[in-house]
């Protein structure tokens, strides 16, 4: 497949758990769907991720390995910047109640251009429930983008 034509941006609070899972799932499944899109992810409040937490959630890594997705780039969470929004052709925030206010406050011109999902963070929902919800939503997004 040629280089991606379009980008999808996944947003969550820390760019540590949910958005990273969505990013890697999307990039794994997009070529199988013959969809010339590529995902990337960012965080709206990465300062909330403790430095000792490591580069990515162990729950994310384990769930990706279970799905046969390996070779995940171990990078630190990245904070959202305006140029990320400009580079995206589709933007998804993982939890409306959590992320809509942050986007509206920090990027007011963009809050109504975001698709909001309803996936709770690790403290509010177990990874065994939340990560499959993300997978279902990513697969649905791939179908809609085709």
Return the pLDDT at 1: 43
Return the pLDDT at 134: 98
* Percent of the chain residues topping a pLDDT of 70: 97
| Mean pLDDT in residue range 51-79 | 94
Give me the half-sphere count of Cα atoms (radius 13 Å) on the Cβ side of residue 16. Answer: 18
pTM metric for this prediction: 0.95
Return the pLDDT at 4: 64
With a CB cutoff of 8 Å and minimum separation 6, the contacts of 3 are 36
- Is the confidence at residue 2, as pLDDT, over 60? no
Return the pLDDT at 102: 97
Question: Do residues 17 and 62 touch, judged by C-beta distance below 8 A?
Answer: no
Question: Rounded to whole angstroms, how far apart are CA atoms 86 and 103?
Answer: 14
pLDDT in tens, 32-43: 999 999 999 999
Return the pLDDT at 49: 94
* Percent of the chain residues topping a pLDDT of 90: 90
Q: In sequence order, what are the beta bridge partners of 42?
A: 11
Of the pLDDT bands very low, low, confident and very high (cuts 50, 70, 90), residue 73 is confident
Question: Do residues 9 and 43 touch, judged by C-beta distance below 8 A?
Answer: no
Return the pLDDT at 58: 96
What domains are there in the chain, each with its CATH number?
Answer: 6-145 (3.40.50.2300)
């Amino acid at each position: 497949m040629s280089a991606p034509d379009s980008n999808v941006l996944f947003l969550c609070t820390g760019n540590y758990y949910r958005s990273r899972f969505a990013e890697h799932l999307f990039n794994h499944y997009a070529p199988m769907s013959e969809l010339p899109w590529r995902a990337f992810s960012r965080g709206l409040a990465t300062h909330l991720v403790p430095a000792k937490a490591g580069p990515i959630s162990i729950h994310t890594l384990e769930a990706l390995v279970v799905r046969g997705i390996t070779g995940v780039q171990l990078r630190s969470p990245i904070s959202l910047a305006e140029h990320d929004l400009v580079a995206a052709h589709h933007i998804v925030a993982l939890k409306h109640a959590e992320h809509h206010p942050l986007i509206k406050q920090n990027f007011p011109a963009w809050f109504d251009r975001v698709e909001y999902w309803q996936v709770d963070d690790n403290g509010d929902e177990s990874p065994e429930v939340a990560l499959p919800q993300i997978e279902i939503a990513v697969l649905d997004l791939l179908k809609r983008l085709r």
